[in-house]
Amino acid sequence: MKNFINIFRIFLVAVVISLFTIMPVAAQDPPPPPPGHGGNTNAPPGGGAPIGEGILFLSLLGAAYGVRKWRAGKNEEEL
């Protein structure tokens, strides 16, 4: 019974914290549309943000990290 009360207390604290952090964000108005939006001259989707270089950089870093961990695991198995 004591374990159930502790679990319920943790659950209740998590619910209260999430209500105080999520509800103010949901109550805000959406941002206004960018200038030039609407009519015949719509703005391009994404606003022209260059995300291609960032994705390539992050995938290369992830691959390098994976190779490093894989090699470290192989070296531990041989010892």
* Helix/strand/coil for 7: helix
10: helix, strand or coil: helix
| Whether pLDDT at 53 is above 60 | yes
pTM higher than 0.85: no
Amino acid at 34: P
Query: DSSP string of 11-75?
Result: HHHHHHHHHHHHHHHHTSPPPPPPTT-STT-PPPGGGG---HHHHHHHHHHHHHHHHHHHHHHHH
DSSP 79: -
Q: What is the pLDDT of residue 65?
A: 95
What is the per-residue pLDDT across 2-39, written as a single tens digit (0 to 9) for each? 888 888 999 999 998 888 877 666 666 777 776 766 65
